[in-house]
């Protein structure tokens, strides 16, 4: 079934909202059973322990919405050019352009899963993608690893916009799940929330 990429993007955000409701409802039910003071709960993300958990929940709800529209892929390694089949030189050229853009914007550094989640059309399961999404989940202070949450969201958004500009994907999205900062460091939480609001067509911020 062919639908507009913008429709798929709406279905993606609908799935994110459903995953969010699931987490919040169960967190509120389970957390009081544990003897953890409220001020410490930012360090105890019950139900959604990690970024992988958040992504898995989103995929679960998303699969039910797009089963006749597209396929979902996670943790895509950009350097593996042969991962998706090609119909011709165009796709290979497009993939190489995406790799070049990522190398440029990431200071020539790649990680295991350069793309958190992507949707391919059901007719071809190939590129260009219908949607590429970045999923960030802050359940501890990433400063301990020399990371700045606001900066890495901005960098991720710049990369996704570059992917869209070269035609590697039709739509882009970022999910920010904040379990830690809105409980312990409101100033950092506010920066994330304001950035998401500024780019609300593409970014959703969730106080998990």
Q: Look at residue 23 and give its three-state secondary structure.
A: helix
pLDDT digits (tens, 9 = 90+) for 68-126: 999 999 988 777 655 666 566 667 788 888 888 777 776 655 554 578 999 999 998 88
Q: How far is CA 116 from CA 46, 76, 88, 140, in A?
A: 22, 7, 25, 19
CB 208 within 8 A of CB 178: yes
CB under 8 Å to 96, separation ≥6 — which residues? 81
* pLDDT at residue 13 is higher than 70: yes
pLDDT digits (tens, 9 = 90+) for 148-202: 999 999 999 999 999 999 999 999 999 999 999 998 899 999 999 999 999 999 9
Phi/psi region, residue 70 (left: phi>0; alpha: psi -120 to 50; beta: rest), is beta
pTM recorded for the entire structure: 0.89
């Amino acid at each position: 079934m062919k639908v507009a990429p913008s429709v798929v993007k709406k279905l993606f955000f609908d799935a994110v909202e459903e995953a969010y409701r699931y987490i919040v409802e169960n967190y509120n039910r389970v957390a009081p059973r544990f003897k953890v003071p409220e001020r410490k709960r930012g360090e105890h993300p019950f139900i959604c322990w990690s970024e992988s958990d958040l992504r898995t929940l989103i995929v679960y709800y998303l699969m039910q919405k797009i089963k006749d529209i597209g396929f979902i892929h996670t943790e895509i390694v950009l350097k593996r050019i042969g991962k998706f089949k090609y119909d011709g030189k165009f796709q290979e050229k497009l993939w190489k352009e995406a790799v070049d853009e990522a190398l440029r914007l990431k200071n020539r550094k790649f990680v295991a899963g350069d793309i958190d989640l992507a949707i391919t059309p059901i007719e071809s399961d190939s590129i260009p993608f219908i949607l590429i999404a970045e999923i960030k989940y802050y359940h501890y202070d990433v400063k301990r690893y020399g990371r700045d949450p606001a900066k890495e969201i901005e960098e991720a958004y710049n990369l996704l916009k570059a992917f869209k500009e070269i035609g590697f994907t039709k739509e882009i999205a970022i999910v920010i799940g904040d379990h830690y900062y809105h409980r312990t460091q409101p100033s950092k939480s506010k920066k994330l929330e304001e950035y998401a609001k500024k780019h609300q067509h593409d970014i959703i911020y969730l106080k998990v």
